[in-house]
Amino acid sequence: MLVKAEKGMAVREESGDGRGTIPLKQHFVLVHGISGGAWCWYKIRCLMENSGYKVSCIDLKSAGIDQSHADSVLSFDDYNHPLMDFLSALPENEQVILVGHSAGGLSVTQACHKFASKIRLAVYVAATMLKFGFLTDEDLKNGVPELSEFGDVYQLGFGLGQDKPPTSALLKKEFQRKIIYPLSPHEDSTLAAMLMRPGPILALTSARFIEEGEVEKVPRVYIRTRHDIVVKPEQQEAMIKRWPPLSVYELDSDHSPLFSTPFLLFGLLVKAAAFDVGCNFETRPSS
């Protein structure tokens, strides 16, 4: 059997006897950022499923409908456990396209370290892309949002006590649209304001990954967001230069292309899944 990838389409399997082609369902696994949940992907999931793709959206611990409280999630391993469980349960012969938005990039990277053989492609959407997590000051500078220009923007939780570092954070409602969703439809920013939950910032900033020799086997793609206030373009560019992916794409969007440019984001995800995986790890110029 000859398997080929066609640009902008699902992978198709062509039989050698001339009987035509049979669509194969590519499996996308979508991972949200801090304070988000599986709900963030509702537009992308709808577009993908209507186009014949298989889609799984993960709620990390204390996110979405998970009942845990962010102040009780104190380690990154604990926070990312739902994704690790999901990948562990996949059949050994199944590969997925793993997509992380924002801080979800940390979850994707840990998965690439631990389950490289099960990940066909890793896609970072305006995401934190650090090979070893937060090991150095440079990692923190590149990967942590710098929002001091807006003043006191966070509602903090102190699960370990007021004299200890904060364990959770949620962007105050009056800043959410201005910072995260300035170019998104108002109905989406309204929905987000109703569903966002405190994120376990102590767990996220403690993310450290040990080199297990597998992470470089997973091809990676980065999707930049030109008008991003959360993970600023210069931060995205710094992470891309430090750990160059196979390809770089760009969207004329805010931090949440899941809402602001869903059709364009969907198109890039499909293009990356078909073209970048099909190029057999050959390094190409950025798009």
Given a contact cutoff of 8 angstroms between Cβ atoms, the answer to whether 255 and 228 are in contact is yes
- C-alpha 184 chain-centroid distance: 18
- Distance between CA atoms of residues 172 and 90, nearest Å: 38
β-bridge mates for residue 221, sequence order: 123, 247
The tokens describing 216, both together, are 């470089």
List the 96-101 sheet strands across, edge first: 54-58, 27-31, 96-101, 119-125, 220-225, 247-251
- Distance between CA atoms of residues 254 and 185, nearest Å: 11
List the 21-23 sheet strands across, edge first: 2-4, 12-14, 21-23
Residue with tokens 């993310």: 207
- Distance between CA atoms of residues 62 and 15, nearest Å: 46
The tokens describing 214, both together, are 């597998």
Given a contact cutoff of 8 angstroms between Cβ atoms, the answer to whether 226 and 233 are in contact is yes
Residues marked active site are found at: 102, 228, 255
